[in-house]
Structure 1
Amino acid sequence: MFGQNYDVVVVGAGNAALCAAIAAREKGAKVLVLERGPIEKRGGNSFFTDGAIRVAYNNLDEIRKIIPDITEGEAERIVMPEYTQADFYDDLMRVTEGKSDSKLANQLITKSYETIIWMRDQGIEFELNVENQSFEQAGKRHFWGGLPIKTKDKGVGLIKSLFKRAEDIGVDIWYDSRAIELVMDQDYINGIKVEKDQKLITIHTTSVILACGSFEANKKMRSEHLGEEWEAAIVRGTEFNTGDGITMALAVGTQKYGEFGWTGCHSIGTDYNAPKFGDFNKPGDIFKKSSFPLGLLINKDGNRFVDEGADFRNYTYAKYGREILKQPGQIAFQLFDAQVRPMLRKEYNLEEATYYKANSLEELAELMAVDKAQFLKTISEYNAAVQEGEYNPTVKDGKGTVGITPPKTNWALRIDQAPYYAYPVTCGITFAFGGLQVNPEGAVLNKEANPIAGLYAAGEMVGGIFYKNYPGGSGLMSGAVFGKLAGTAAAQYTLEKMGPSKL
C-alpha cells in the first residue's frame, strides 16, 4: 500500500513549512517536504514578500543580536524605540478589534524573539528596515512603527536560505508533488496520498504538518467564503495555494476556525495592471502601493471612501484592499501632488508602476476617466477642510480635516501643487484569515477541540490570529513561530511513538 516511509511529512514549501521541516529534522526526524509547484516556482507566498518581520524586542542591543554586523559607530547613530511584547500584543488586539485568539496571540508574541534568533542560527540573514521604517534627523537614524528588521534580499533571500539549510541537514524535497488526502488509522495519522509524475503515491508517516497556505488562489472558494466580488481580486502570491490542505483537514474531522466563518482576508491596494498571480520573475512585492496615507484614495465616481490617515500603513493596508474591491469597477486611484511625490515609497518609482501625471486637476480627472465634476468637488471640499498644524509623516501628527466624511485624521496636506499624480489600484489578495483551529503547539484540533494525533498546521493555515486586519510583518513571524513549534511537536510525537528512523 505504501511507497516510502517518513517520520514527518510537511505539505508546502514556504517560510512556515521550511521552518517546520528544519525544526523536525533538528530533532532527529526523517522529513519530507512536498512542494506542489516546480522547482522554479518554489517558496509559496513567502517568496513574494518584502521580508519585513515583526518581533518583540526591548532595545537596540537585542536587535544587534539579530543583525550582528551593526557596528558600534552605526549603533551610536541609531534611535531604536523599544517594541515590547505588550506593544506587539496591544497592536495585534487593536487592529483585530480584540478578536485575536489570545492563546495563539500570546504564543506568537512571546516566541517571536527566540524564533528570530533561531532563524539567524539557521543561516537566515536580517537587515535593518531602513527604507520603509526609518527617517534621518540631526545625523541619526530614527526607527518607528515596531517593524525595524527585514530578511536580507526580501522573501527571495529568506526562501533561498531556508531551502539551503533544509537541504544541508538532509530534508528530502519533492517538487511537482500535490498532496491530496490524509490517511487515517482509526484516529491517528497513518499516511498521506500524493500525486506525483501522474501517479498516486501513498507515503507512510505518523505526522503531517499542513503548511500550504489558504485558498486565496482558488476563485471558487474565494467566491464561496469571501463573496462573489472576490473573483475579481488579483492573487499577489503563488498560484498553488488553492486550499488543498484545508480540504484534506476538513475531510478528517477538523473544523473551520477564524474570522466569522472565513469571511476575512489579508488584502492590499496593488497596481491595477499587476499580473493576475504572483510573477516569479518579478518577486519582492513590487506591485503594492503603500504610501496612500500621504495622499487621497478616490473612486471612479470621484469620491473618497476611507480615512487614508487613520493610522500608519502597517495597520490599515491589509483592510483597505477590500474597500477598493467594493468600489465601482474594483478600481481606485491614489492621488498625490508635487509636494508629496518625493516622499513616496520605492515601488512608485519602478518601471512597473502605472500612473497618470497632469499639470492640472481637470486634466488629471480626464486621464483617470472619473466623474470630473464630483472629483473636483471632492478635492475642493477636502482642501477647505484641511487644518493647520505641523506635518510629520513619521508620527501620527494629528494634522487632519474637519467637517468632511470620511475625515483624514493625520497627514492631511492640501492637494494644490502641480504636477499631480494618480496611481490606479485594485485589490490584491494575499491570504484568507480563516483556517484551521490549532493549539499553541500547532496541533490541529477536531470538532471537539481535541488534537488529532499526528496532524499539525502552521502559517496561513492557522485560523484565529488575524481578524479584519493585520499588523504588517506579523504573517512571516507567525509562519516561523508556528512552523518551528509544529515541526518540534511533530518530531517529538513521532519519535516517541515510533522511535528514531535509521537514516
Structure 2
Amino acid sequence: MYSLLSTKHNCPSSCPMVSDPRSKADPPHRTSAFHHFHVPNLFMISTSFTLNVQVNTIRPTSTLQHTSSSMLPTETDILIIGSGNAGLCAAISAAQTIQQNQPKNSNSRVLLIDKCPNQWAGGNSYFTAGAFRTAHNGLSDLLPLVNNVDASTATKIDMPAYTDEAFMGDMQRVTGGRTDPVLSKTLVENSNETVKWLRSVGVRFQLSFNRQAYEVDGRVKFWGGLALKTEDGGKGLVSDLWDAARGLGIEVVFETAAKRLITDVETGIVKGVIVSHCDRNGDAGSSRRWEEREIRAGAVILAAGGFEANPRLRAQYLGPNWDMAFVRGTPYNTGECLEMALQDQQVSAQPQGNWSGCHCVAWDAHAAPDTGNREVSNEYTKSGYPLGIMVNRDGNRFIDEGSDMRNYTYAVVGRAILNQPGHVAFQIWDKRTSSWLREEEYRDEVVQRIEASSVEELAEECARGHGLGNPCRFIESVAEYNHSVSARQDDDRNNGTERKWDPSVKDGLSTQSTNSGLSISKSNWALPIDEPPFLAVKVSAGITFTFGGLSINPETAGVISTTGTEVPGLYCAGEMVGGLFYDNYPGGSGLTSGAVFGRRAGRAAAAGVVPYIGP
C-alpha cells in the first residue's frame, strides 16, 4: 500500500514579532476529493529520545522590542542589512560572539535594518516551506532535533544517511559541476552543525513527512536527501529567529534602505552605511518623510537578498521574458545592495556566480504577479508535475516531468514554463495520480481546479476559460503519452522486468520502449492518464531567488574585492552570495546556505570588532 503523508498545523492568532507575520491564521486545510489514502497521526517526540543540544527557549512576548523609527541609531558595533534567515542568523551569531568575547561589555550594539515596513519582516525566508538540507547519519541523528515523531512512528521510518559526499555529489550534479568547490564544501561540511545551532537558539524543527516522504508497504520512506523543515514553514522559522534576536537584545529598524557604504579612504575599511530612513515620528499613521542618515559601524553584513523582485534587473541579467515572471516572495528584494557593493569604487566587490540563473518554480497562474501572499505563502507552488504531465498553451509537452526527484527539478521547471507561449502551462492528472497531490498546494482554497469526466471535456474546459489555445493537440498529447506508457509496460511484461510504481524512488517507469517512445520522454513515474475524473491546473513561472552574487571568503563570509583581497569590515550572506548555485540547486540548500554563512559572517564580524567609539 502507498500513502501520501501529510501533517496539519494551526498557526497562532498572534505572533511575537514586530512584523506579526502570523497575525492571520493559515487558510483551513480541506481533504482533497481524490485523496483515498490513510494518513497516519504524528505526535510529539517521545522522552525516550534525548536532546543532545542545549536549547535556549525564549518565551514569546507580544511584540519585538525594536528601535523607534525616529530614534535610528547613529552608531553600532555590528550593522546587518536584511531581516530574513541569513540576516537574522548573522545578527544572532554576532550578538552571541560579542557576549562570549566581551562578557563585561554591556554597551555592545547589534543593529539590523531593512527597507521594508515591519509587516513585511522576514524577507523571502518567510515565504518558504522552511526546508533545510543537511548532511546527517540517518534517523538517529535527526530525531533529537524534531518535535513531531514519537517512538512508535520512529520504528516505521526508513531514512538512509545523507553523507557529506552525497550532499556534495548533489551540489556538483545539479549545477553541472560549476558550483565553487570551496564554497560548497564549507556549506556541506557545516550543514549539520549549523542546523543543531539553530535548534539551540530555539528554531523548531520537524521531519518533513508531507513534502519528503511516502508510505510504501507500511514503511515511511524519505527520499531526495531532504528530511528537515521548520515548524510552520518559513513563518515559523522567522518567528523563532525573531524570538532569539529579542532575547539577545538585537535592535531592529524597518523602512531604512541602505544607499552607500562608508569607507575609510586611507585604510579601505568599511565603517558604516548611508541610509534612506522613513521618519514617522513614532506614529505608524503619520506622513512618511524619507531622510538620509548615517550609521557608523564596526562592521557591516549584507544579507538583503537578490534582485528577483526587480523586473529591470531580471530582464538585464536573466534575459528576455524574465520581467514577466511572477514573484513568489517579498517585493523588497530588488538588488540595490548588490549594486551598492559592486559599484562602490572603494569596495569594488567581485561579482561571482550564475548571474543569468535563478530558482524558479511552477506557480499558480492566478496568483498576484508582483509579490507573494503572506497568508498563502509557499502554497501557490505547484510541484505535483512528476505525478502527471505538463502541456503548454498549444497542447504540447515540453519537459521530462520525471527526470529526477521533485526536489532536484522544481527549481528549474519554472524556467521551462516561462519559455512557453504565454508563459503558462497546464498540469494534468487522472484520479489515480491526483490522489497523491499535496493538499496544501492543490486544495480548492489555493488553486483553480479544472475537472472533467473525460480528457476531451478537460481540454474543452481548459480552452473555455483558461487560455488553452489548441484543445485538439492537448487530447493528442495525452493519447500519445498513454500509448507510449502502455508500450513500455508491454515491453517490461514480455521481458519479465515489470516495474512497480513507487514515488519514493526513481522507479524507471518510462515512456520509452523498443517500438515506441516520445520525442520528450518521461523517465520515471509514467502511468497512463486514463482513469476519470481528470484534473488540470494552470501554472506560470514563479521566481524565488537569483543565483548571481558577491564573491566571499568561505571561512569568514568576508566580501572579496576585484583585487582578490578581502574587504575589511564588510561581510555577506544569503542570496547575495554568488558561486554556489548554477542553473539549479538541491532543494533546501538555500536556507541552509543562509544560516551557514550568516552565522559565519556574524561570528567573524563580531570577533574582529573593537567596540565603536566614534568616527
TM-score over 0.5 for the alignment? yes
CA contact (8 A) 1:332 1:424 kept: yes
Residue 279 and residue 381 in structure 1: after superposition, are their counterparts in 2 closer, same or farther (change >3 A)?
A: closer
For structure 2, the 5+ residue unaligned runs are 1-71, 99-107, 280-289, 490-498
1:13 is matched with: 83
Out of 203, 209, 215, the position equivalent to 2:307 is 215
2:321 is matched with: 229
By relative contact order (CA 8 Å, sep 6+), the higher-ranking structure is 1
Matches within 5 A, 1:373-388: 373-386=472-485, 387-388=488-489
| 1:79 and 2:144 matched | no
Alpha-carbon distance in 2 for matches of 1:271, 1:279: 11
Equivalent position amino acid for 1:133 in 2:
Q
The 3-state SS of whatever aligns with 2:154 is helix
Between the aligned residues of both structures, percent identity stands at 43
2:103 is matched with: none
CA contact (8 A) 1:216 1:235 kept: yes
CA contact (8 A) 2:360 2:412 kept: yes
Out of 364, 377, 380, the position equivalent to 1:287 is 380
Equivalent position amino acid for 1:395 in 2:
V
Matches within 5 A, 1:150-229: 150-186=229-265, 187-196=268-277, 197=279, 198-229=290-321
Alpha-carbon offset, residue 228 of structure 1: 2.7
Alpha-carbon distance in 2 for matches of 1:463, 1:340: 38
1:343 is matched with: 436
| 1:426 and 2:527 matched | no
Alpha-carbon distance in 1 for matches of 2:479, 2:219: 39
Out of 74, 86, 91, the position equivalent to 1:4 is 74
| 1:257 and 2:352 matched | yes
Alpha-carbon offset, residue 139 of structure 1: 3.9
Alpha-carbon distance in 2 for matches of 1:492, 1:214: 27
Alpha-carbon distance in 2 for matches of 1:69, 1:217: 35
Alpha-carbon distance in 1 for matches of 2:435, 2:190: 38
| 1:274 and 2:367 matched | yes
1:448 is matched with: 563
Residue 413 and residue 316 in structure 1: after superposition, are their counterparts in 2 closer, same or farther (change >3 A)?
A: same
2:94 is matched with: 24
The 3-state SS of whatever aligns with 1:316 is helix
1:390 is matched with: 500
Q: Quick check: which has more Rg, 1 or 2? A: 2
Equivalent position amino acid for 2:271 in 1:
N
Residue 349 and residue 68 in structure 1: after superposition, are their counterparts in 2 closer, same or farther (change >3 A)?
A: closer
1:417 is matched with: 531
TM-score, normalising length: structure 1: 0.96
Alpha-carbon offset, residue 499 of structure 1: 4.3
Out of 428, 435, 439, the position equivalent to 2:553 is 439
Deviates more, 1:247-256 or 1:137-146: 137-146
Equivalent position amino acid for 2:255 in 1:
D
2:179 is matched with: 100
Deviates more, 1:210-219 or 1:386-395: 386-395
CA contact (8 A) 2:297 2:612 kept: no
Alpha-carbon distance in 2 for matches of 1:164, 1:298: 45
- Tell me the C-alpha RMSD between the 2 structures: 1.6
TM-score, normalising length: structure 2: 0.79
Alpha-carbon distance in 2 for matches of 1:88, 1:460: 19
Alpha-carbon offset, residue 71 of structure 1: 3.8
The 3-state SS of whatever aligns with 1:193 is strand
| 1:399 and 2:480 matched | no
Alpha-carbon distance in 2 for matches of 1:285, 1:103: 31
Alpha-carbon offset, residue 292 of structure 1: 0.3
Alpha-carbon distance in 2 for matches of 1:19, 1:95: 26
1:255-295 residue CA offsets vs partner (Å, 9 max, x unmatched) = 32111xx1000000100011224445414401000010010
CA contact (8 A) 2:147 2:205 kept: no
Alpha-carbon distance in 1 for matches of 2:433, 2:541: 23
| 1:361 and 2:455 matched | yes
CA contact (8 A) 1:47 1:283 kept: no
Residue 114 and residue 501 in structure 1: after superposition, are their counterparts in 2 closer, same or farther (change >3 A)?
A: farther
CA contact (8 A) 2:574 2:595 kept: yes
Residue 280 and residue 360 in structure 1: after superposition, are their counterparts in 2 closer, same or farther (change >3 A)?
A: closer
Alpha-carbon distance in 2 for matches of 1:407, 1:471: 22
The 3-state SS of whatever aligns with 1:111 is helix
Alpha-carbon distance in 1 for matches of 2:122, 2:376: 11
Out of 481, 484, 489, the position equivalent to 2:599 is 484
Alpha-carbon distance in 2 for matches of 1:319, 1:3: 42
1:365-408 residue CA offsets vs partner (Å, 9 max, x unmatched) = 12222312222222221111112132111110000012211100
Equivalent position amino acid for 2:566 in 1:
P
Equivalent position amino acid for 2:596 in 1:
V
The 3-state SS of whatever aligns with 2:543 is strand
The 3-state SS of whatever aligns with 1:160 is helix
Equivalent position amino acid for 1:141 in 2:
V
The 3-state SS of whatever aligns with 2:313 is helix
Alpha-carbon offset, residue 81 of structure 1: 1.0
| 1:34 and 2:129 matched | no
| 1:313 and 2:427 matched | no
1:172-199 residue CA offsets vs partner (Å, 9 max, x unmatched) = 0001111111111121101101111211
Alpha-carbon distance in 1 for matches of 2:244, 2:365: 37
2:63 is matched with: none
Residue 80 and residue 40 in structure 1: after superposition, are their counterparts in 2 closer, same or farther (change >3 A)?
A: same
Alpha-carbon distance in 2 for matches of 1:134, 1:438: 35
Matches within 5 A, 1:47-86: 47-67=126-146, 70-86=149-165
Matches within 5 A, 1:455-466: 455-466=570-581
Out of 420, 424, 429, the position equivalent to 1:327 is 420
1:190-236 residue CA offsets vs partner (Å, 9 max, x unmatched) = 11011112111100112111001000111110111111301111000
The 3-state SS of whatever aligns with 2:473 is helix
Alpha-carbon distance in 1 for matches of 2:251, 2:371: 26
CA contact (8 A) 2:127 2:374 kept: no
CA contact (8 A) 2:388 2:433 kept: yes
1:141 is matched with: 220
Deviates more, 1:198-207 or 1:2-11: 2-11
CA contact (8 A) 2:178 2:582 kept: yes
